[in-house]
């Protein structure tokens, strides 16, 4: 094996038109993936392909389709669908794999390819390495007799909506709730509002008119200002913001205040704990220290992983726990699905509110949230902290000021040319001071 050159923490991602996010590379990627999954399957070979609403999705859908068919694999085209929907449908169709064309929360000029195995989980390292090994070989098209075929799945949207509704106990209702739903002009535009509406809620829709270019533009889970204003204006009980591919969720309470992924995980965990059903929670290096402390006070075990939902899922499977996620809003309910699902996680929060009859802004107060600030420093090339003693000294100096009452973290982004500098402590003024000092050193050294 040659290792992984293209696969990052969440598939392959980059700017459209810049290698490897080009039509010719994606065609070969489809062929390589088709060969790998063909070798590991007996009988019918089927791979599902879905996408978000970026204009480049048309191009990459066709390229993947051509590569997979050339490898002798049948293709089921789902059209615009949330990432977690593709994971779910891959299992229900008994397909060898599911492929998602998406760059998640990134702007329309980016795109990416990520994979799910037949079990609905993201690929293991060895499968990704096998695909990369085939990328080094020339494409050899199967004989015409053995070429794959393609068809469109017309009922994919309805199947996923019913799945989401079915993650709540029988008889559950959202009757009486008024919810503003921001779909980021992305892949949930035709699914999420209908899930909440069919469960009885009054739904006000935001950012549900994708045009190929407006995905995540001033909307969605990473830019909640539009939702905050709408919740207050509409007098809604809450707002729910999803990202471009639907695997992240963020809430806004009835007063217009944001509720992030850590707070949502805490709300779900506490409710499950009260029902006797929370064995532990997996977070990441970026999870708020306050969540860890608050879970500990409830007697709920907590573990941190590297940043990336795949690492959270690995930790959950290893420990046989069911709940985990990231402060960005990737929330995994492992008893209900195999990957982060914004709609499913939102329903769990709503279920906790309904069962306890407590509003969200009160539920979230059970978690003491530590002040946390992150500064993104744009870099020109890959970053290795060991090569920069000046930065190491700045970190050491900051840690001495924290005196074990907080955390500092430097982390290169897995999807963008950035180094994220994060400081967290009980003292907000100290947080602001230290994050700026360290970020300035990082920028001077590698910016």
Question: Could you tell me the pTM of the whole model?
Answer: 0.91
On whether both 198 and 296 belong to a single domain, the answer is: yes
The b-or-e profile of 183-205 (16+ CB within 10 A means b, else e) is bbbbbbbbbbbbbbbebebbbbb
On whether both 20 and 123 belong to a single domain, the answer is: yes
On whether both 204 and 333 belong to a single domain, the answer is: yes
Of 120, 138, 153, the residue that ends a domain is 153
On whether both 269 and 217 belong to a single domain, the answer is: yes
On whether both 254 and 345 belong to a single domain, the answer is: yes
Q: Is 18 helix (H, G, I), strand (E, B) or coil?
A: coil
Provide the number of structural domains found in the chain. Answer: 3
d(CA 231, CA 249): 16
- Whole-angstrom CA distances from 330 to 179, 217, 284, 373 are 20, 19, 11, 19
On whether both 233 and 140 belong to a single domain, the answer is: no
On whether both 39 and 140 belong to a single domain, the answer is: yes
d(CA 92, CA 96): 11
On whether both 144 and 182 belong to a single domain, the answer is: no
Domain extent at residue 244: 160-366
Name which of 340, 360, 203 is nearest 271 in CA terms. Answer: 360
From first to last of its 447 residues, the chain has per-residue pLDDT tens of 345 789 987 899 999 999 999 999 999 999 999 999 999 888 889 999 999 999 999 999 999 999 999 999 999 999 999 999 999 999 999 999 999 999 999 999 999 999 999 999 999 999 999 999 999 999 999 999 999 999 999 999 999 999 999 999 999 999 999 999 999 999 999 999 999 999 999 999 999 999 999 999 999 999 999 999 999 999 999 999 999 999 999 999 999 999 999 999 999 999 999 999 899 999 999 899 999 999 999 999 999 999 889 999 999 999 999 999 999 999 999 999 999 999 999 999 999 999 999 999 999 999 989 999 999 999 887 778 888 999 999 999 999 999 878 899 998 876 678 999 999 998 999 999 999 999 999 999 987
On whether both 123 and 203 belong to a single domain, the answer is: no
On whether both 299 and 382 belong to a single domain, the answer is: no
HEC per residue, 138-162: CCCCCCHHHCCCEEECCCHHHHHHH
Active site residue 124: no
* Residue tagged active-site, from 104, 221, 287, 294: 104
On whether both 283 and 335 belong to a single domain, the answer is: yes
Residue 191: give its domain's CATH number: 3.40.120.10
Q: Which residue has the tokens 């489809």?
A: 30
d(CA 118, CA 41): 10
d(CA 194, CA 315): 33
Name which of 429, 388, 381, 439 is nearest 405 in CA terms. Answer: 429
On whether both 338 and 382 belong to a single domain, the answer is: no
């Amino acid at each position: 094996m040659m290792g992984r050159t293209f696969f990052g923490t969440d598939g392959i991602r980059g700017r459209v038109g810049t290698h490897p996010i080009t039509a010719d590379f994606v065609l070969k990627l489809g062929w390589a993936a088709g060969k790998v999954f063909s070798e590991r399957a007996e009988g019918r070979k089927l791979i599902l392909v879905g996408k978000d609403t970026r204009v480049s999705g048309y191009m990459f859908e066709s390229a993947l389709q051509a590569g997979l068919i050339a490898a002798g694999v049948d293709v089921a085209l789902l059209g615009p669908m949330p990432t977690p929907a593709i994971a779910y449908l891959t299992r229900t169709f008994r397909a060898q794999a599911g492929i998602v064309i998406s760059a998640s929360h990134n702007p329309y000029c980016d795109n990416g390819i990520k994979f799910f195995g037949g079990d609905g989980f993201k690929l293991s390292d060895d499968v990704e390495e096998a695909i990369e090994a085939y990328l080094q070989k020339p494409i050899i098209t199967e004989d015409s007799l053995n070429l794959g075929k393609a068809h469109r799945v017309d009922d994919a949207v309805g199947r996923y909506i019913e799945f989401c509704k079915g993650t709540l106990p029988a008889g559950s209702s959202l009757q009486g709730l008024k919810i503003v739903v921001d779909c980021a002009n992305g892949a949930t535009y035709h699914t999420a509002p209908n899930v909440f509406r069919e469960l009885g809620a009054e739904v006000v829709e935001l950012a549900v008119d994708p045009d190929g270019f407006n995905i995540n533009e001033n909307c969605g889970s990473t830019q909640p200002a539009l939702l905050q204003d709408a919740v207050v204006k509409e007098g809604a009980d809450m707002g729910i913001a999803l990202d471009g591919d639907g695997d992240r969720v963020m809430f806004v309470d009835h007063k217009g205040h944001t509720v992030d992924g850590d707070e949502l995980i805490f709300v779900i965990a506490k409710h499950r704990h009260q029902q006797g059903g929370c064995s532990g929670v997996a977070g990441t290096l970026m999870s708020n220290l306050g969540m860890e402390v608050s879970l500990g006070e409830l007697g709920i075990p907590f573990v941190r992983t590297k940043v990336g939902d795949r690492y959270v899922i690995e930790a959950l499977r290893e420990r046989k726990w069911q709940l985990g996620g990231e402060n960005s809003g990737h929330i995994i309910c492992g008893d209900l699905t195999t990957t982060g699902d914004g709609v499913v996680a939102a329903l769990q929060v709503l279920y906790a509110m309904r069962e306890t009859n407590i509003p969200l802004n009160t539920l979230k107060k059970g978690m003491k949230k530590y002040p946390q600030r992150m500064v993104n420093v744009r870099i020109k090339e890959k970053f290795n902290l060991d090569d920069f003693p000046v930065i190491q000294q700045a970190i050491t100096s900051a840690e001495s000021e924290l005196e074990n009452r907080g955390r500092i973290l430097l982390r290169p982004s897995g999807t963008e040319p950035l180094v994220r500098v994060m400081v967290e402590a009980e003292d907000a003024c100290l947080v602001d001071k230290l994050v700026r000092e360290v970020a300035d050193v990082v920028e001077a050294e590698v910016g």
